[in-house]
């Protein structure tokens, strides 16, 4: 009985040694990249069915292209840039690898002073950078009915913040979708599921660059 017990112990030790060697020899797989989308109704999925919102469609598209990602929806309908700043700490966990910032549309619709919007977006980006998180800033354009002076001041916010903070800029989040009735809900302001698909298709190269930036630390 003692001989058999000793044999079993020797066998277990050999297996344990083999597992240890294998663990050392086998390279660790890449960790999942966690992306948070900090935004308003355009990313929250206003008027859409589950799975149709921007973060969900983006995650699916990235996985189709072979990326190991989780995209979290931190969009709040009606939120302004200042609102996004106020909830930043609890909306975007410190563990997130990368953040897509999509805010400002409601600021423009309400005619908020562009200086206020720029200050809030700048602080959001600065805080995320300080945490070591990679950032993609999704730009917005003011409605033309706000007047040329307002539109010029508002539109300049995003390129200026991106340049100042040294982060990537996607010029206009609604590129190819804005003012296209077939790609928007009946309100003419929020993208429908197909509109979101177009947004994802357009922004995908910029998001893949964001993933590369996050991988580089």
How far is it, in rounded angstroms, from Cα 128 to Cα 91? 12
Q: Is 82 a residue of the active site?
A: no
Angle between helices 148-155 and 114-131 (to 10 degrees): 10
71 contacts 59 by C-beta, under 8 angstroms: yes
Q: Which of 31, 40, 41, 79 is catalytic?
A: 41
- 3-state secondary structure at position 215: helix
Q: Is 187 a residue of the active site?
A: yes
DSSP H or E stretch at residue 75: strand 69-75
146 contacts 109 by C-beta, under 8 angstroms: no
Q: Is 67 a residue of the active site?
A: no
Q: Which of 31, 148, 186, 187 is catalytic?
A: 187
Burial class (CB in 10 A: 0-12, 13-18, 19+), 127: middle
Q: Which of 40, 107, 134, 190 is catalytic?
A: 190
According to DSSP, the residues that pair with 44 across neighbouring strands are none
Residues assigned a catalytic role = 41, 187, 190
């Amino acid at each position: 009985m003692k001989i058999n017990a000793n044999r079993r112990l020797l066998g277990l030790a050999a297996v344990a040694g083999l597992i240890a060697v294998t663990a050392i020899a086998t390279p660790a797989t890449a960790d999942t990249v966690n992306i948070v989308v900090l935004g308003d109704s355009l990313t929250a999925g206003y008027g859409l069915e589950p799975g149709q919102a921007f973060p969900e469609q983006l995650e699916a598209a990235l996985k189709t292209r072979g990326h190991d990602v989780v995209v979290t929806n931190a969009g709040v309908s009606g939120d302004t840039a200042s609102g996004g700043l106020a909830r930043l700490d609890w909306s975007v966990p410190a563990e997130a690898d990368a953040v897509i910032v999509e805010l400002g549309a409601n600021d423009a619709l309400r005619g908020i002073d562009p200086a206020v919007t720029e200050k809030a977006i700048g602080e959001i980006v600065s805080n995320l950078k300080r945490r070591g998180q990679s950032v993609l800033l999704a730009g917005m354009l003011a409605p033309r009915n706000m007047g040329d002076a307002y539109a010029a001041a508002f539109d300049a916010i995003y390129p200026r913040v991106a340049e100042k903070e040294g982060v990537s800029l996607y010029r206009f989040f609604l590129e190819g979708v804005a003012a296209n009735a077939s790609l928007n809900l009946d309100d003419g302001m929020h993208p429908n599921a197909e509109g979101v698909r177009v947004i994802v298709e357009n922004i995908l190269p910029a998001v893949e660059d964001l993933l590369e930036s996050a991988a580089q630390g």
